[in-house]
Amino acid sequence: MGKETFAARFAGLTPLLRPRSVAVLGASADRLRIGGRPIAYMLDRGFRGAILPVNPNRDEIQGLRCYPSVATLPEVPDVAIVAVAAERAVAAVEELAQAGVRGAIVLTAGFAEVGAEGAAAQARMTTAARVAGMRLLGPNCLGLFNAAIGYFPIFSSSFEGGWPLAGRIGIASQSGAFGTHLFVVARDRGIGTPVCVTTGNEADITIADAIGWMAQDEGTDVIAVYAEGFRDGAVLRASLAAAREARKPVVMLKVGRSALGQAAASSHTAAIAADERVAEAVLVEYGVARARGTEELLDIAHLATRRIYPAANTLGVLTVSGGGGVLVADAAEANGIAMPPMPEEAQARLRALVPFSAPANPVDCTAQVFNDFAMVGTFLEETAGAGYTTLLIFFSQVGAAPSIAPRLREHLAALRARHPGVLMVLSVLAPAELVRDYEALGFAVFPDPTRAVVAIGSIGRIGAAFAAQPGLPPPTVPPVTLPTANPSEPEAKRLLLAAGIAVGMEEVCRTMAESEAAARRIGLPVVMKIVSPGITHKSEIGGVVTGVAAIDDVARTHTLLLERAAANAPGARIEGVLVAKQYAGTELIMGIARDPVFGPMALVGAGGIFAEIMEDVALHSCPFGEDVAEAMIRSLRCFPLLAGARGREHADIASLATMLARLSAFAIAAGPRLAAVDLNPVIASAQGVAAVDAVMLLRE
């Protein structure tokens, strides 16, 4: 699907989120029942569209005329809420689809979440909707709300404690209960979340569709997401790309883990690239901010509503507490935020004003400045004017003192006006009314400075993603024709070599004499391995011998490898013995793993027999250019070994990046039959790089 097709798909949710008329199937006069709450909520909140209850047993419900069936409705509603029993829900959706209703919100449970029979019923429901072009939310969902128009097709009891506040944050949640949990916590913190979509079983509309709609919605600036897993990688990518293009941050609380697939049992790369890592890699590619919990999710989303996203974030800190300044500095370092010192001239001016201040950064003005509010203004202005993209002011309880707050507010208002492009955060302990007052000035207020720093770090990463320019194009590789079955190591290397991926010097030998001749041509010492497409991990059966340094040992090793293969893998087809040059350098792993949701993912990391234990890896969707490949390599913890740490030889980083980029292009050229590729180890040295082992797994 192209960009326009995805945009149309996301726009297809508009009838469900901004309808002119709503039918309620299973409508109830009881305001506390599932079929009664949506009607009651919409009446209470002044929904201006038509509300059309459907119940064959009633003529009137909650003061509204009630209709016996969909066929008797006076108009075709934009959307229908389905709150009937599971055994009637499929027929209800079929009736709505035939009537031309554009959207259905199926609150009813008892479908795919309960077993095979329910899954079959859900499939019939989904087919009926898709054939008619009707979008379907649920089943087994809590519903949604759009508070700006008084629209509440939802049965949550959470509104008994208060209604959503006006604001610019949209909530998309796969869990209904957790989606409304987010709304309640936000409401109680004074944060506006007027739109919320919960997706339930996702028979049709997924969390990605909800993100995509909010990316297009003029009333939404920030998208807060609770996700347990993803169903369609292409739709998710399109929704995240749409949000990034619209400069709308996506802040996500992603939970849950599951197996990558059958390939994990036989591929190092697939085993390392568990799908949580894959999801993380994809989300990072699109600049999604990951949160670790409800509080952090709302912290980041709330700060993002300021709509200031520094691309190269630097933090200036003004504090009345030296201890508070140290706390912030530690948190900034942990979150990768630069805190450059104040300019020397500014430091000198501040020392002249308060000799015992510490004006480097953090700037500790001490409580002394509140004896003379002119000094407060000077410290604020000097810190804000020093060129930092973000300013964090830690005034703790001092900022709420009745003797101080009114005059402080004046200085803060003037500061905000003079520096509109700086992201300004205030950490104070203040009553809710004063917090709202400070926020109205344009400051994001946090009671805890550490929480503020975590959110600031996320905003900086969002800004970097928004500012990122398109990278280098991926390399061009020739068409790839895969064999009918898993290739042997030499055959896999021939395929890779044709794509420009460097492999080691080697020969396949049938006899001891051939092995001896090959060793002489290649040059001792050599590595010798058993060659069999049926033996994936040769080292586990003793099928690899390194450091064969004498010609006499070559013949003996040839025989030994055949004996070990016969004893440990008696059914495997043996193609011979591989005699290969023994390379020296740093060992890495490179590979491809095909994720069932996101497709081929490239991996690079610390290699060798401990690759899975070290778990020092970087992943990225295929394909990509050499700039992305080099960034992946430089992100590894083991990179200092490649860069010549402690007198080591500096590896050829450019050649490594070329190999990784070509491998990513090979994955696309090979097509969907390619399940996994392991290049372990890849030897990197100053002289170049070479893949000295290769495993390629194909899908049937």
pLDDT one-digit tens code per residue, 73-126: 999 999 999 999 999 999 999 999 999 999 999 999 999 999 999 999 999 999
Please check whether residue 179 is in contact with residue 142, taking contact to mean a CB–CB distance below 8 angstroms: yes
Kindly report, residue by residue over 351-410, the tens digit of the pLDDT: 999 999 999 999 999 888 888 888 999 999 999 999 999 999 999 999 999 999 999 999
DSSP letter at 340 equals P
Per-residue pLDDT, 538: 87
- Cα angle: 430, vertex 436, 439; to 5 degrees: 100
Task: Look up tokens 């290969």; give the residue.
Answer: 580
pTM, entire model: 0.92
SS3 570: coil
Asked if residue 483 is part of any domain, the answer here is no
Cβ neighbors of 254 (< 8 A, separation 6 or more) are: 225, 227, 228, 279, 280, 283, 290
Q: Which two tokens stand for residue 654?
A: 């450019």
On average, the pLDDT of the chain sits at: 94
Residues 319-348 have a mean pLDDT of: 96
Domain edge (last residue) among 467, 496, 521: 467
- Band of pLDDT at residue 257, cut at 50, 70 and 90: low
Q: What whole-number distance in Å separates Cα of residue 195 and Cα of residue 221?
A: 11
Q: What whole-number distance in Å separates Cα of residue 673 and Cα of residue 699?
A: 5
Kindly report, residue by residue over 405-440, the tens digit of the pLDDT: 999 999 999 999 999 999 999 999 999 999 999 999
As beta bridge partners, residue 508 has 578
Residues 652-657 have a mean pLDDT of: 97
Kindly report, residue by residue over 659-691, the tens digit of the pLDDT: 999 999 999 999 999 999 999 999 999 999 999
Residues 301 and 319 in one domain: no
Q: What whole-number distance in Å separates Cα of residue 90 and Cα of residue 87?
A: 7
- Band of pLDDT at residue 609, cut at 50, 70 and 90: low
Domain edge (last residue) among 581, 600, 632: 581
With a cut of 80, say whether residue 1 has pLDDT above it: no
Q: What whole-number distance in Å separates Cα of residue 175 and Cα of residue 375?
A: 51
Kindly report, residue by residue over 264-277, the tens digit of the pLDDT: 334 544 455 457 88
Q: What whole-number distance in Å separates Cα of residue 146 and Cα of residue 40?
A: 15
- Cα angle: 51, vertex 54, 58; to 5 degrees: 110
Asked if residue 310 is part of any domain, the answer here is no
Longest dimension (CA), the chain: 99
Enclosing H/E stretch for 452 = helix 449-467
Residues 520 and 537 in one domain: yes
Residues 120 and 249 in one domain: no
Closest CA to 82 of 129, 24, 33: 24
SS3 158: helix
Per-residue pLDDT, 259: 42
Q: Kindly report the CATH number assigned to the domain that includes residue 686.
A: 3.30.470.20
Residues 210 and 193 in one domain: yes
Q: What whole-number distance in Å separates Cα of residue 177 and Cα of residue 676?
A: 38
Q: What whole-number distance in Å separates Cα of residue 307 and Cα of residue 291?
A: 18
Q: What whole-number distance in Å separates Cα of residue 261 and Cα of residue 430?
A: 51
Per-residue pLDDT, 274: 54
Percentage of the chain lying above the pLDDT 90 cut: 90
Among 21-25, 552-556, 612-616, 639-643, where is mean pLDDT lowest?
612-616
Domain edge (last residue) among 564, 581, 598: 581
- Band of pLDDT at residue 261, cut at 50, 70 and 90: very low
Per-residue pLDDT, 608: 75
Per-residue pLDDT, 649: 85
SS3 320: coil
Kindly report, residue by residue over 28-39, the tens digit of the pLDDT: 999 999 999 999
Cβ neighbors of 279 (< 8 A, separation 6 or more) are: 230, 254, 598
Residues 591-605 have a mean pLDDT of: 94
Please check whether residue 590 is in contact with residue 682, taking contact to mean a CB–CB distance below 8 angstroms: yes
Q: Kindly report the CATH number assigned to the domain that includes residue 457.
A: 3.40.50.261
Give the torsion sign (CA, 596, 597, 600, 606).
negative
Please check whether residue 394 is in contact with residue 449, taking contact to mean a CB–CB distance below 8 angstroms: yes
- Band of pLDDT at residue 290, cut at 50, 70 and 90: very high
Number of H helices, E strands in the chain: 24, 28
Residues 15-32 have a mean pLDDT of: 98
Task: Look up tokens 């024709």; give the residue.
Answer: 481
Asked if residue 152 is part of any domain, the answer here is yes
Asked if residue 77 is part of any domain, the answer here is yes
Per-residue pLDDT, 138: 96
- Band of pLDDT at residue 535, cut at 50, 70 and 90: confident
User: In 232-259, which positions are buried (b, 16+ CB within 10 angstroms) versus exposed (e)?
Assistant: bbebbbbbbbbbbebebbbbbbbeeeee
Q: What whole-number distance in Å separates Cα of residue 533 and Cα of residue 479?
A: 23
- Cα angle: 615, vertex 617, 621; to 5 degrees: 135
Question: Beta strands of 78-168 (E only): which ranges?
Answer: 79-82, 103-106, 135-137, 144-146
Q: What whole-number distance in Å separates Cα of residue 676 and Cα of residue 261?
A: 11
Q: What whole-number distance in Å separates Cα of residue 664 and Cα of residue 628?
A: 11
Residues 370 and 421 in one domain: yes
Closest CA to 680 of 690, 670, 672: 690
Per-residue pLDDT, 275: 76
Question: Beta strands of 337-422 (E only): which ranges?
Answer: 363-364, 390-396
User: How many domains would you assign to the chain?
Assistant: 5
Q: Kindly report the CATH number assigned to the domain that includes residue 538.
A: 3.30.1490.20
Per-residue pLDDT, 172: 98
Q: What whole-number distance in Å separates Cα of residue 271 and Cα of residue 680?
A: 13
Per-residue pLDDT, 269: 47
Residues 45 and 106 in one domain: yes
Residues 151 and 282 in one domain: yes
Per-residue pLDDT, 445: 97
Asked if residue 488 is part of any domain, the answer here is no
Q: What whole-number distance in Å separates Cα of residue 424 and Cα of residue 413?
A: 11
3-state helix, strand, coil in the chain (%, to 5): 45, 20, 35
Asked if residue 475 is part of any domain, the answer here is no
Residues 614 and 551 in one domain: no
Per-residue pLDDT, 258: 42
Residues 187-198 have a mean pLDDT of: 97
Domain range for residue 334? 315-467
Q: Kindly report the CATH number assigned to the domain that includes residue 64.
A: 3.40.50.720
Distance of CA 345 to the CA centre of its chain: 43
Q: Which residue has the higher pLDDT, 536 or 437?
A: 437
Residues 271 and 228 in one domain: yes
Closest CA to 605 of 676, 654, 678, 665: 678
- DSSP-derived pairing of the beta strands 586-595 and 599-606: antiparallel
- Band of pLDDT at residue 169, cut at 50, 70 and 90: very high
Residues 320 and 298 in one domain: no
- Band of pLDDT at residue 534, cut at 50, 70 and 90: confident
Residues 179 and 300 in one domain: yes
Residues 135 and 148 in one domain: no
Asked if residue 487 is part of any domain, the answer here is no
Q: How buried is 625 (Cβ within 10 angstroms: 0-12 exposed, 13-18 middle, 19+ buried)? A: middle
Asked if residue 178 is part of any domain, the answer here is yes
